[in-house]
Amino acid sequence: MYMLGLVGYRVSRAEVTLQIPDDEWMTNIRNGRDTLRDLTGEDFGYDLSAWHNFLAANKKHGYTHPYARRKVDEAVLLGITAEKRNQLVALLEKS
Rounded distance between C-alpha atoms, residue 60 and residue 78, angstroms: 25
Over its C-alpha atoms, the chain yields an Rg (Å, rounded) of 12
The pairing of beta strand 10-11 with beta strand 16-17: antiparallel
Q: What is the pTM for the complete model shown?
A: 0.90
DSSP one-letter code for 1: -
| Tens of pLDDT, residue by residue, the chain (95 residues) | 899 999 999 999 899 899 999 999 999 999 999 999 999 999 999 999 999 999 988 877 777 767 667 888 899 999 999 999 999 999 999 98
Rounded distance between C-alpha atoms, residue 25 and residue 23, angstroms: 5
Domain spans, the chain: 2-94
